[in-house]
Amino acid sequence: GDHSQVDNNALSAASVVLSGGASATYVAGNCIQLLPGFHASAIGASVPTTFHAWVDTAPSAVSFSPSNQTGLNQQFTWTVSSPSGHGNLSHVFALFNTTSASTTSACYVHYDASSNLVFLADNGSANWLGGFTPSSTSSASNSQCTVSGTGSASNPTASGTQLSLQLNVAFQTSFSGSKNEYLYALDSSGVYTGWQQMGTWT
Tens of pLDDT, residue by residue over 35-56, are 888 888 877 767 778 888 878 7
Distance from C-alpha of 147 to C-alpha of 75, rounded to nearest angstrom: 10
Quick check: helix, strand or coil at residue 87?
Answer: helix
Would the pLDDT of 89 be above 90? yes
Per the CB < 8 A criterion, the answer to whether 135 and 152 are in contact is: yes
Q: Which whole-number Å values give the CA distances from 46 to 18, 24, 25, 183, in the listed order? A: 14, 17, 20, 46
The tens digit of pLDDT for each residue in 142-176 reads: 999 999 999 998 999 999 999 999 999 999 999 99
Per the CB < 8 A criterion, the answer to whether 183 and 100 are in contact is: no
Would the pLDDT of 73 be above 90? yes
CB contact set of 38 (below 8 Å; sequence gap of 6+): 13, 14, 15, 16, 17
Could you tell me which residue, 79 or 83, shows the higher pLDDT?
79
Distance from C-alpha of 171 to C-alpha of 157, rounded to nearest angstrom: 25
Would the pLDDT of 193 be above 90? yes
Per the CB < 8 A criterion, the answer to whether 171 and 145 are in contact is: yes
- Please count the CA atoms within 13 angstroms of the CA of 26 that sit on its side-chain side: 17
* Least confidently predicted of 8-22, 120-134, 175-189: 8-22
CB contact set of 144 (below 8 Å; sequence gap of 6+): 96, 105, 106, 107, 123, 171, 172, 174, 175
Q: For residue 48, what pLDDT is reported?
A: 79
